[in-house]
Amino acid sequence: MPQRTWNDKRERQYEHIKEGLEGRGRDEETAEEIAARTVNKERARSGEAKAASRTSTKDISSGRRGGLRSHKGSGGRTRDQLYNEAKKKNVPGRSKMNKAELEHAVGR
C-alpha cells in the first residue's frame, strides 16, 4: 500500500506498476510488494529517500532493466544468474565457465 511519504507522482507510479502486474496474472499481494519495492528503489535513485543501498543507486534503473535480465530479451540472464542455476544443478567446473558455457551447461 502506498506510504504517506510518497508524492503524487510516486503514488501514480505505484498504481500503474501494480495494475500492470495484476493484469499479467500476479496476485494482489505480490503485485503490491513488487510495486512498492520498485517505487522505493526509484525514490532512492533520485535522492528522494533518506537512506539507499548501494544496489539501489548503482544498478540499472528499474524501468530500463525490464527485459535485460529476464529469461528472454536481448541480454538474457546475467552470468551470475546462470552461475546460480548451474550451482543448483551441481554442474561441475561452473566456476571457470564463461557466460556462453554456463548457458550451454544449464540448457538455455
Q: How far apart are CA 85 and CA 21, in angstroms?
A: 25
**Confidence class for position 18, pLDDT limits 50, 70, 90:** very high
Q: Mind listing the pLDDT tens digit for each residue in 20-58?
A: 889 888 899 999 999 988 888 888 877 777 776 776 667
Average pLDDT rounded to a whole number, residues 9-15: 90
Cα 79 off chain centre by? 15
Segment 55-72, tens digit of pLDDT: 666 777 666 666 565 555
Q: What is the structure's pLDDT at 41?
A: 83
Instruction: Quote the pTM value.
Output: 0.50
| Among the listed residues 49, 51, 81, the one whose alpha carbon sits nearest the alpha carbon of residue 65 | 81
Query: Taking the domains of the chain in order of start, what are their residue ranges?
Result: 1-65, 71-108
How many CB atoms are located within 10 Å of the residue 10 CB?
Answer: 19
